[in-house]
Amino acid sequence: MDLDLRKVRYFVAVAEELNFGRAADRLRIAQPALSRQIRALEKELHIELFERSSRGTALTPAGTQLLADAGPVLAAADAMERRARLAARGTAPFTVAFMPGILVTPVVRAFTDAYPGIGVEVLRTSYYEQVAVLHDGRADVSFVRLPVPVAGLTVVPLFAEARVVAVPAGHPLAGKERLHVDDIADEHLLQDPDLVPEWRDIARDVREGSSRWRSGPGSTMEEKLEHVAAEEGIIIVPRSTAALYTRPDVVYRPLDGIADNQVAVAYSTQRGSAEVEQFADLAVRLLRTN
């Protein structure tokens, strides 16, 4: 059976919205047409993807599995189309993605010296896009801050970096030269607690079951710092990232009792090439410290 990717895209929209009307608006098609496409996909797969009732729409176990698998499949299809179009125009560059604070210039320079005929571009990413750019073909390699989902990727560790905590300038903790994770146990973390397990294990928010965090693709460093400055909570970031985002109403303090951030270079296992592997080797040679 040949899977119709258009129907899969329709399925993903409904699965994410859990509402056929909103999904139809998002896709800019009529709701009856969307319903027919989903029923056709269920018929082709011989499974039910949604449970439909008066209480609303919910994913079946099969639908949950398809949603998990659909992302990489659609990203790979998008990447294939994008790269084919670029190759047809003879404009496909070698793209290096990087997270803020990671200095990639030495590796890029060494790579261009080794491959003078290859045009190299750099692409700044966010935490939520640092591996997505590999799956969808926007980047050939990506300097990432761990942890990241490793499925379909080759991830090569490079070095570790200390993290600091950002607090409002008027906060009592801002007056201390150095903090321990125990000092911030009663503070509200504006990040996913799983990214800071040392805080999560002692935090009052978690003990009281009131942990909530601001996240999502649109949650930038600038937005997080606005919330910190407004005394809504704290964030914990790598030291080099903090150096890029200084402002008078936010203070960064060294933080003990917390693991360093791990930096790695990653690339798609399926789309590996001699150039990609050479770039990773150069990154190890020039940046690895452990």
pLDDT, residue 217, reads 41
d(CA 115, CA 30): 50
What is the tens place of the pLDDT at every residue in 257-288? 999 999 999 999 887 788 999 999 999 999 99
Q: Do 267 and 253 belong to one domain? A: no
Q: Tell me the per-residue pLDDT of 1-12, one tens digit each, with 9 for 90 and over.
A: 577 888 999 999
The answer to whether 279 and 150 have CB atoms below 8 angstroms apart is no
* Mean pLDDT of all residues belonging to the chain: 88
Lowest mean pLDDT among 45-49, 79-83, 121-125: 79-83
**Partners of residue 251 on adjacent β-strands:** 167
Helices (H), 46-121: 61-89, 105-114
Residues 247 and 266 in one domain: no
Pair of tokens at residue 14:
């409904």
Is residue 83, in this structure, part of any structural domain at all?
no
**71-93 mean pLDDT:** 68
Whole-prediction pTM value? 0.69
Give tens-digit pLDDT for 89-136. Answer: 555 678 999 999 999 999 999 999 998 888 899 999 988 889 988 988
Read off the pLDDT band of 207 (50, 70, 90): confident
Domain harbouring 118, CATH code: 3.40.190.10
Q: Give the end of a domain, one of 24, 40, 74.
A: 74
**Beta partners for residue 161, in sequence order:** 261
Same domain, 65 and 133: no
Write the CATH number for 60. Answer: 1.10.10.10
Judge whether 12 and 2 are in contact, CB under 8 Å: no
Q: CA-to-CA distance for 224 and 221, rounded, in angstroms?
A: 5
In a domain, residue 157? The reply is: no
Q: Is residue 27 a part of any domain in this protein?
A: yes
Range of the structural domain that residue 170 is part of: 163-259
Does residue 142 register a pLDDT over 80? yes
Region 45-66: what's the mean pLDDT? 90
